[in-house]
Amino acid sequence: MGRLRSIPLPALAVSSLVLVTTALAFVFFVAPNDANQGFSQRIFYFHVSLAFTAYACFIGGAWNAFRYLWKRDPRADLESYVWVHQGLIFGAMVLLTGSIWAKVSWGRWWVWSEDELVLFLVLYLFYCAYFMLRFSVDPGPQRANLSAVYALFGVVLIPVSFAAIRLAKEFLHPRVFTLHGPNFGGWILVTYCVAQAAMLVLAYTLYRLELGGKRLDARLRDLRELVA
């Protein structure tokens, strides 16, 4: 973790740019056409990598929340918050790309039969409430405590919600299509890996950017208080 922190932000930004561009190139030019859905299936590369990245962000938020509660590391609260924020941004992208994919595949902008989308909707609402909670408490140890506990609840909710959504299938909608295509080898796998790496590096770059900005704000506030 310490070594990750020492990577300078400009280097991260450049790698993000390179990886995302490469991923786009792979998705549009290298990956073969899907047998069933043709060209429009390609959004799947971004949708799945975004989903995985968003989960990683929420888990990162929960990990830092746990570190805050356990080790009382004062910096962990801000790190947890920024991870949750990134998770929400990427989660919004998951919902957006999922919606586009649903429209292209099944002609409707929203399908309740798609587990991933429903789970993300629930998580999205949960973490939006995290923001409402965080910003209706004044900054301080109490806000950090409440945010940390709530972020941990979110991570416990992920598997429980997933199980609930699968259980609900029996009496809600029959399972018609699956998200993942039939074959996952060859260039499809390579393209997916590039897209996934691009999304993860992008998330980490944005995280470091936001964290740096917020830490600077906090230092500025402290300095102003000292001078005043």
Partner 1 sequence: MNYVRDVGALVRKDLLLELRARDTLPAMLLFVAAVFVIFHFALPGTPSRLETTGFLWVAILFTALLGLGRAFVPEREQRTFDGLVLAPCDRSAIWLAKSLATLAFLVAAEVVALPLYALFFHPLRGATVAAVLLADLGICGVGTFLGAMAVVTRARDLLLPLLFLPLAMPIVVGAVGASVSASPGRYLGFLALYDLLFAVVCWASFEYVVAE
Burial class from Cβ neighbours inside 10 Å (0-12, 13-18, 19+) for residue 213 reads exposed
Choose, by CB under 8 A, the member of 136, 184, 225, 228 that binds partner 1: 136
| 165-183 b/e (C-beta count within 10 Å ≥ 16 → b) | beeeeeeeeeeeeeeeeee
By CB under 8 A, residue 178 contacts partner 1: no
Single out the segment in contact with partner 1 by CB under 8 A; choices: 74-82, 107-115, 129-137, 192-200: 129-137
Q: Is 88:125 a contact under the CB 8 Å cutoff?
A: no
Single out the segment in contact with partner 1 by CB under 8 A; choices: 52-60, 161-169, 180-188, 194-202: 161-169
By CB under 8 A, residue 25 contacts partner 1: no
Measured from the CB atom, is 41 or 161 closer to partner 1? 161
Choose, by CB under 8 A, the member of 25, 137, 189, 190 that binds partner 1: 137
Measured from the CB atom, is 104 or 122 closer to partner 1? 122
d(CA 4, CA 97): 29
By CB under 8 A, residue 37 contacts partner 1: no
Q: Which positions from 68 through 87 interact with partner 1, judged by CB under 8 A?
A: 69
Measured torsion, CA atoms of residues 49, 50, 56, 60, in degrees rounded to the nearest 10: 150
Enclosing H/E stretch for 158: helix 141-168
Measured from the CB atom, is 82 or 148 closer to partner 1? 148
User: Least distance (Å) from partner 1 to the CB of residue 66?
Assistant: 10
Q: For the chain, what is the total number of helices (H) and then of strands (E)? A: 7, 0
d(CA 153, CA 69): 13
**The tokens of 28 are what?**
């549009």
By CB under 8 A, residue 141 contacts partner 1: yes
By CB under 8 A, residue 175 contacts partner 1: no
Binding residues vs partner 1 (CB under 8 A): 69, 122-123, 125-126, 128-129, 132-133, 136-137, 141-142, 145-146, 148-150, 152-153, 156-157, 160-161, 163-165, 167-168, 170-171
